[in-house]
Amino acid sequence: MNNYATYRIAETIRVLIFLTLSIIIFNFYPLTAVMIVILALLNDLPIMMIAYDNTKPLQRPASWEMHRVLTIATVLGIAGVVSSFLLFYFSDQVLHLDRPTIQTLMFLKLAVAGHITIYLTRTGEHHFWSRPFPAGILFWTTEITQLAGTLIAIYGVFMKPLGWQLAAFVWAWALGFFIINDFIKIHFYKRMERPTIHK
């Protein structure tokens, strides 16, 4: 439940804030209505599989720590927003892509980065490589939906085709920030564990 709540809040922040700020600041819709629907459908499948994930049994009864959940979810969500805006700037100002191509680029980025965020939230205060490998049903559902989103973007199903080269670039971008976000997550977990000194 903690993993689900953290992922869901982070993903909501990541998508909604990016969409809202893009429209307000740049007067640009980074996703079409159809893209939003496809993205929601792709996200729902891995989310449902979180309940079947592998995990280590706790030594004591678990309790809700909403401060930690909200803090980590907000940190991961904002990190995702920053990553999206950096990619938007790079694709617009450096690659000089047209706006329909940028929309497909952002769709793929949100799909890929959103799905691999599951691997960050499932490990809590530990690095993503330090916990049991995800359950097969979670791992394969996540990867198959990522592949589906990638092929939709590459071949332009209800959107402008992105092509293999730009799709590979988006994957590299998402994986790079995945590593960075993992260390950011650990940093904030450690900060919350520091004892408060009262004078």
Establish if 102 belongs to a structural domain: yes
Instruction: Indicate whether 16 belongs to any domain.
Output: yes
Q: What is the CATH number of the domain that holds 173?
A: 1.20.1110.10
- Report yes or no on 60 lying in a domain: no
The pTM score is 0.86
- 179 within a domain of the structure (yes/no): yes
| 42-92: pLDDT as tens digits | 888 887 877 777 666 666 666 667 778 888 888 888 999 999 999 999 999
Total structural domains within the chain = 1
Q: Is residue 57 part of a domain?
A: no
pLDDT digits (tens, 9 = 90+) for 100-111: 999 999 999 999
**Cα dist. 8→22, 98, 145 in Å?**
21, 31, 17
Q: With contact defined as beta carbons under 8 Å apart, do 50 and 122 qualify?
A: yes
Q: 83 lies in which domain range?
A: 2-50+65-193
Residue 157 inside a domain? The answer is yes
